[in-house]
Structure 1
Amino acid sequence: MNIGKTIKDLRLRKGFNQGEFANKCGLSQPYLSLIEKGKKEPTLGLLKDIAQNLSIPTPILVFLSLDINDVDDSKKEVYHFLEDTMKDVISKAFLSDPLKN
């Protein structure tokens, strides 16, 4: 799971620079930078705030952060089957441009 990279990608897709987004979330820019680099893990409460400021539900943010290594071996086939469809639905519902793999 790479929550920091996902936050950064969504932040950029939404047109926020790091400083203004950190301020919007009540964070310092250096702390947001650490989260985006994967050096700090946001608390659940902070993750909810970040998701809200990205105008995306928290579970969607978590889903977008998943990678195949996060999925149980018995469920990888289903994950592969659903991944593209889910990302397409998420893009249409919450983002202005398509998600890229």
Structure 2
Amino acid sequence: MDIGTAIKILRKEKQLGQKQLAEMCGISVNALSQIEINATFPQKNTIKKICESLQIPVSYLLFFSISDDDIPDDKKVVFKSLNSAIKSILIE
């Protein structure tokens, strides 16, 4: 699960800088940077603030954070097909 990578992608999709998002969430830029490079895992409270700032439900963030390594080999083809379709709808 790459929650930090998902946050970074969604932040960029919303055209927000790290400083902007960090301020919106009430966390330091360094804390956000550490989350985005997956060096630290955000607390539940921080995840909620990030999602509120990005104007997305927590479930969207969790879906976006699913990585290839999380999917069994026999399900990867189906997941990749659904994943790109769902992401294109959710990001709009």
What TM-score results when the alignment is normalised by the length of structure 1?
Answer: 0.79
Tell me the residue number matched to 1:34: 34
Change (3 A) 1:45 1:74: farther
Per-residue Cα deviation, 1:29-79 (whole angstroms, up to 9, x for no partner): 111111111111001221111011001111111111111211234543432
Give the counterpart letter for 1:21 in structure 2.
L
Change (3 A) 1:84 1:12: closer
2: CA distance, partners of 1:76 / 1:17: 32
SS in 1 for 2:56: coil
Tell me the residue number matched to 1:21: 21
Are the equivalent residues in 1 in contact too, given 2:25–2:50 (CA < 8 A)? yes
2: CA distance, partners of 1:77 / 1:12: 27
Structure 2: give runs of 5+ residues left out of the alignment. Answer: none
Give the counterpart letter for 1:38 in structure 2.
N
1:91 aligns with 2:88: no
| Greater relative contact order (Cα < 8 A, sep 6+) | 2
Tell me the residue number matched to 1:56: 56
Tell me the residue number matched to 2:72: 72
SS in 2 for 1:21: helix
1: CA distance, partners of 2:21 / 2:91: 20
Give the counterpart letter for 2:76 in structure 1.
K
